[in-house]
Structures are given as structure tokens and as C-alpha cells.
Chain A
Amino acid sequence: MKQAILKTVGMTALAFTFTTAAADPLKIGISAEPYPPFTFKGSDGSWTGFEVELGQALCEKMQAECEITPTGWSGIFAALDSGKIDMIMNSLSITEQRKEVIDFTDPYYFTPSAYVAAKSDSFDIPEGLDGKLLGVQGGTTNATYARRELRDTGVEIKIYDQQEQANRDLFAGRVDAILADKVAMTELVERDEASEYEIRATAPRHAAFGEGVGIGLRQSDDDLRQRLNQAISEALEDGTCTDLSQEYFGTDICGS
């Protein structure tokens, strides 16, 4: 009898989980603007990249059904708030300011930021930035850091909607340097078109850059946060994250 009840409860719970899972897969919000090698479209047109694969691995560990949902970066917080997506997983740095409006999981990776400039244009960073034009992507910790901490260097900041725009304007000579995630910049300077460009300096670790990168969640989703934290700690321990990191970056960026 007891067993039967347990079984019924179990079945109901299972059915419930199943229906919610089938009707509502967890929507992993990523930026609709590609951010290689974290998120980009593969040759077959579907989304892939370090964070796409890691996100799918986390979902497997949670035994949840997930769906990659590209969302315009500028509206991604509103999309989370309104329930169009359930998490933001796109190199989202954990900062105090963001914590006031969303919750974060534990960090799963941290990388410093780096400056890229033309090899022929030899000025020092940050000392020689006076009168130079620096391109950053808006809504990133790089933009916050540049606007607030580089203010006294005399640099002029240009804020782009997408990182690729800043990259292209660097190549076109419209900005003198760009400041962005070091991993992405390492990948950038390896491109053929970037042969005349180099990583000039690495930004120091600063509060504006936050405590590493975590998954952004609605503040009401405590249950999801706990499940994700569990999955993240498993992925960090069993090497899932490290393997993916080695595959995409040739180095281990996992952990905090």
C-alpha cells in the first residue's frame, strides 16, 4: 500500500516534471549578436560555441530540457524579466550593480580584459591613451571600466552595440584601440585580417570587471539557481568545463 502510494506520488511528480519540461523547456538566453568563440553560428547554421555547449552540458546534468534562445543583447535583461528567457548565459560578469536586479549562479569562468591596437601604432596603455580613441561594446564591464576608470587618461571612448563593429572599426582605423575580453581578443588577433594588430596590454583586475562570469537568473528563481549551481560545480569538478575550454581556447579558463 505504502509502496503504491509512493509510486503514485512518484508517477504524478514524474508526469508533472515531464509535462512542464515538454511544454516549457528552459530557455537559455544568448546574445543574438555572435560573440565567438563563446557563442556563434556553426557552418550548419545552428548555434554553437563554448557557452552553448557548456549550457547544454549543464542542462544534461540537471536532466532538464533546454533551448538556446538568441536575444538582442540590449533587450536581454527585459527578456529575462518578462519570462521570454529563463537564464542569460553569455559571458555575463557578476557585478554589484547587476546583482541588484538579477540573481547569479556561482561563476564558471573568469578571464581578464585586454587591449588590442595596431602594431605600427606604438603607444603605451594606459599611459599613452591621451587623445586616443578606444572602442568598447556597450553594456559590458569593459564599457563601465573604460568610462569610469580610464576617464583621467584623456582617452575618448566610443561605444558600440556589437563587439564585431568595434573590431571592424579598429581595422578601418576609426578607433586606435579596443578593450574587450582577452579570450575573444586572442582569437581576434589570430585572424588573417588582424595580422597587423596585437594585444597591447591586459587590464588589471578591477571591481568594475566583477567576480567572474555566471549565469544570470530572475531573482525569484531560487530553485533553478540551486540546480544550476549544483550542475556548475559538477561540471567544474569532472572536467566537462575544462575539456570544452581546451577545445575552444586551448587553455583552461574555468573556475573563478
Chain B
Amino acid sequence: MNFTWITDPYYQEYLWTGFFNTLALVGVSGTLGLVLAVIFALLQLNGPKPVAWFVRGITTVVRGTPLLVQLFFFYDGVGRLLPEIPGIRESLFWPMLRDPFFYGALTFTLSVGAYSGEVIRGALLSVPSGELAAGRAFGLSRWQILYRLWLPRAIQLCLPTLTGEMILLLKSVPLVSTIAMMDLLKAANLVRDETFLVYEPLLLIAGIYIAMTLVLTTAMRIIEQRFPGVQPAKAQRRLLPG
């Protein structure tokens, strides 16, 4: 094992860039993706029929194709057609459109939207209809029932599953190294290319990923316990009766 390269400021810089890019991608796509997931779930359950079918179609396509293929589709396919549009290179959006971060965030947001959308749809269906009827009996409006009762109850039910989805998202990020974006894997590859050490940089980023996962899991565990309506002591353990 040879870890002397860690002291090289060039490699440190790339590893930090990779680390922050990974955080940014998970942050942006996680947040936007979960918002999209709620919208997808509600549209499937409550939206007009054609819209519900459309959302189901998107979900099927996104869940039915490999993430890497989607990433190439957006970056190499859509991303190469865009410059053909006259004037786009002079437009305000061009710096964003030429940045691989945009394509990574777009792909991952859609992916989280599709997968977590189904999780949330299932959770929304598992909220007992009596609770919604109770809300109506209390005189809550449709909108109030949705955001004060139905949605919080559903998210409370599926939070542990959503934690898993976020971990999967974190571990999908290395895919962006294939579209020339500097993430942790790309930084490790750089070290490998110049020092010819294969395992050491990989071990380092594996350690960083485990640390990030632990932080993410802990944060989500805290959210789970503090979520409105959850009693912390009960959320920790549950024994089989008898």
C-alpha cells in the first residue's frame, strides 16, 4: 500500500472538487427528485387520466432503462443536438447547457422522481382512508388534507425506504465520470493514471463513500425520529408481541 500521493496538493485539489461535486449532485438531484416524486405520485393517483398515464409512461421508461444509458442519452444525444439551435451558444443558458453537471442533475432528478415516486405512491395508498375522512370531518379543505395530513403521513411511512433511495443516488454519482465530470471516481482515476497505483485511490474513495453514507443515514435517521407525529422511542425498536 502506497498512499504518499495523498500529500500532493494537485491530487488533494481534485479529490476535494470531486467530493464537493458529489455533494452538490446528490443535494440538487435529491431535493428536486423528491419534489418531482411527490408530483409524480399525486398525478398518478389524483391527476386527469391522460396525465396519469403520461406519468406512468415516464416512470416505466426511466425505471426500465439503465441509468448510464439515460446519462449518455442526455449528454451525448440531447446535449449534442442543442448546439445546433441557432443562437443558443450566445444565450444566457449556454454556460449551464455545456456543463456536464446539468446533464447529471437532470438524469438523477428524473431517476429519483421515478423510483421514489412509486415509493411515495405506495405510501399514499397505505394511509388509512379513515384518517382522510376524519380530516374532512374536522372541516379541512382538500388542500389542507393533502399537505397537513395525507402527505406527512405517507412520507412518515416511507422515510426508511427513501433513505435507501438517497443512498442509491449517492452511489450512482460515479457514473458522471464517464461524461468528463470531476467526481471522486474521476479524481481516483487521475491518481491512477499518473502514479499507476490502482487499489490505493479506489480504497480511499471507497472510504469516503462509506463515510458519506454513514452521515446520510444518520441524518435521515434523525429526520425519521423527529418527523411530526413520530414518537422517537417507538421509532427505534419494535418487538414482536407475545
Q: Which residues of A contact B (CB under 8 A)?
A: 74, 77-78, 97-98, 100-102, 133, 135, 138-139, 143-144, 147-148, 158-161, 165-166, 168-169, 172-174
Type the 1/0 row for B81-101, where 1 means its CB is closer than 8 Å to any CB of A. Answer: 001000001000010001000
Instruction: Evaluate whether A172 and B190 lie within 8 angstroms (CB atoms) in the complex, with A98-B196, A101-B196, A147-B10 already known.
Output: no
**Which residue, of A166, A169, A174, has the highest number of chain B Cβ atoms within 10 A?**
A174
Contacts A139-B194, A160-B180 supplied; 16 other A-B pairs, CB < 8 Å: A74-B193, A77-B196, A78-B198, A97-B196, A100-B196, A102-B196, A135-B180, A138-B189, A138-B190, A143-B193, A147-B10, A161-B177, A168-B80, A172-B83, A173-B89, A173-B98
Q: Is B164 in the interface zone, CB < 8 Å from A?
A: no
The CA of A148 and the CA of B8, in the complex, are separated in Å by 12
Determine the residue in chain B with the shortest Cβ distance to A169: B180
Do residues B193 and A139 form an inter-chain contact, with CB atoms below 8 A? yes
Do residues B189 and A74 form an inter-chain contact, with CB atoms below 8 A? yes
Q: Is B195 in the interface zone, CB < 8 Å from A?
A: yes
Type the 1/0 row for B173-199, where 1 means its CB is closer than 8 Å to any CB of A. Answer: 000011010100010011011111010
Do residues B192 and A173 form an inter-chain contact, with CB atoms below 8 A? no
Chain B residues with CB under 8 A of A169: 180
Do residues B178 and A161 form an inter-chain contact, with CB atoms below 8 A? yes
Tell me whether chain B's interface is mostly helix, strand or loop, or mixed: helix
Q: Which residues of B contact A (CB under 8 A)?
A: 10, 76, 79-80, 83, 89, 94, 98, 177-178, 180, 182, 186, 189-190, 192-196, 198
CB distance from B68 to the nearest CB of A (A): 13
Residue contacts A-B, CB under 8 angstroms, 13 given: A77-B196, A77-B198, A78-B198, A97-B196, A98-B196, A139-B189, A139-B192, A159-B182, A159-B190, A161-B178, A161-B180, A168-B76, A172-B79
Do residues B98 and A138 form an inter-chain contact, with CB atoms below 8 A? no
Instruction: Evaluate whether A148 and B10 lie within 8 angstroms (CB atoms) in the complex, with A172-B83, A174-B98 already known.
Output: yes
**Which residue, of B94, B178, B196, B198, has the highest number of chain A Cβ atoms within 10 A?**
B196
**Which residue, of A77, A98, A139, A172, has the highest number of chain B Cβ atoms within 10 A?**
A172
Do residues A159 and B186 form an inter-chain contact, with CB atoms below 8 A? yes
Chain A residues with CB under 8 A of B178: 161
Number of CB contacts from chain A to chain B under 8 A: 52
Do residues B83 and A173 form an inter-chain contact, with CB atoms below 8 A? yes
CB distance from A96 to the nearest CB of B (A): 11
Chain A residues with CB under 8 A of B192: 74, 139
CB distance from B140 to the nearest CB of A (A): 51
Instruction: Evaluate whether A158 and B193 lie within 8 angstroms (CB atoms) in the complex, with A148-B10, A173-B98 already known.
Output: no
Do residues B194 and A144 form an inter-chain contact, with CB atoms below 8 A? yes
**Which residue, of B80, B189, B194, has the highest number of chain A Cβ atoms within 10 A?**
B194
CB distance from B235 to the nearest CB of A (A): 45
The CA of A138 and the CA of B182, in the complex, are separated in Å by 12
The CA of A165 and the CA of B198, in the complex, are separated in Å by 23
The CA of A83 and the CA of B94, in the complex, are separated in Å by 47
Chain A residues with CB under 8 A of B177: 161
The CA of A174 and the CA of B10, in the complex, are separated in Å by 24
**Which residue, of A98, A100, A143, A159, has the highest number of chain B Cβ atoms within 10 A?**
A159
Chain A residues with CB under 8 A of B83: 172-173
Determine the residue in chain B with the shortest Cβ distance to A176: B98
